[in-house]
Structure 1
Amino acid sequence: MEVSQIIKVAVRDLNRMWKYRWWLAGLVAMNLSDLFIMATIFNGVVNRALIPDYIKFVAPGITAIAIFASSFSIGREVMVEIRRDVHHYLLSLPMRRYELLLGRALGGTIRGLVYAIPFLILLIAIEGLPNVEIFSVALISLILLAFSMSSLGIALSSISRQMDVQATVRSLLYFVLFFFSTVFYPSRAISQFSAIRLISHYNPVSVVADLLRASFGEGVMPAADQLISLPILSFLMSVAGMLLYMKAMAK
């Protein structure tokens, strides 16, 4: 395996990220509106016994879904390439197929991390300085989340060439990962819904959001089984993404 080939593919995808600057601007505006408009309104509505300061509570969650959405966007480019048969050109490049696959996933990961930097800075401005040890674990979880969501985006885009099918599945996935999580509400607020609570408990977005909250003293550390589930889910999503991408490129 040549690492240089993987890096070249990742750099290519990182450079292509700036072609969609207006889409990125819209994504930033959406995330910031969630933080400054929705959170400000809800801050005067939510039960203070559950959440004393909703803005400080939701800011780590917004950071988690921001890195999810940005990393996931690599799937859109993969979908366009497959629909337009551009992947035949990629297969002709002097590199092994798995190097190409790892490069695509790595490129999506780096894109997600680059996009998350301003939100992390904003998070520190709102919350103050974090606990270094817990924040280090949170950063590792951010990388795992970005890699797994990048792989998942690639997998989803490799399932079907029909855009309406992909859009439907993508919207359903967004709904589950966003709202069956602890991004907008604490776990005890959904404790009466057993199925939702179970999904939320192992939802990688929930794990990352809770780790960020814990690092700023706004919550407790996720349970051990949650921390273990994150790398396992990341590995499974990565394998699924690569296998489906290879199958789609072989057609």
Structure 2
Amino acid sequence: MNNIPIILLVGGKGERFDYKENIPKHLVKINNKPFLIILLDYYFSNNFKIFLLPLGYKMNQYLKFFKNAKNLKNYNLNILNKKLSNFNPNKKNIFLFNAKKNSNKLQRILKTLKYIKNNPIIGACYGDTIADINFKKNLALLKKKQNQASLVCYKTRSPYGIIKIKDKYVKKFIEKPIMKDPINIGFYFFKKEIFKKKFNTTKDLETFLLPKLAKNKNLISFLHKKKHYTVNNQKDLIFLKNQVKNRKIF
């Protein structure tokens, strides 16, 4: 799988995340290791070697992190040039570029494609979720010609108590049930050919491309049943830190 590049969509504003140290949520430390590095480690353990980061909001903080010699050594990182010609198969190869502050996720993917030449499949993720996904089974779904893209979904609990009502009376109360329909946790694989067509880039990944693929029955789902942690806000961060205190996430 080391020929499949992964686009990490870390350039957004992350408006739901307000951290006291004013650093991007992807660089917040869990067990003394940045959240982003934990994600990269899991990809790398599954033989993914190339990671492209279309930067935008708080770009300078990412550049500072990845230019730090100590970080490069400690986290086994290699910074790639524009042609990606200095690839090192024994390291996590990182390519960084400025995709502009106001670019949405779809725009950032399209801007990244010009650096990716001979790869028929590309991966993408939001970068704020870590999960022990079976990538081999996930990728196997793209063997069918009809399947142009895949996303990873997860069945989660409702954050609220659900009530069943009849004639205005509460017939049944269910405290935080597992929801019938799964949520999208933001891990994708795309056949690159789908990006050859022109796009209305004023619309985003979730409001344009994914619905379009779904309508044409080209988007297949992979249900993840094991561990999954998303950091959207301070509450999520505290929960994750408590869950994995003094031990590995996976």
Instruction: Calculate the TM-score normalised by the size of structure 1.
Output: 0.26
- Structure number with the higher helix fraction is 1
Task: Name whichever structure is richer in strand by fraction.
Answer: 2
TM-score (ref. length: structure 2): 0.26
Higher RCO, Cα 8 Å, sep 6+: 1
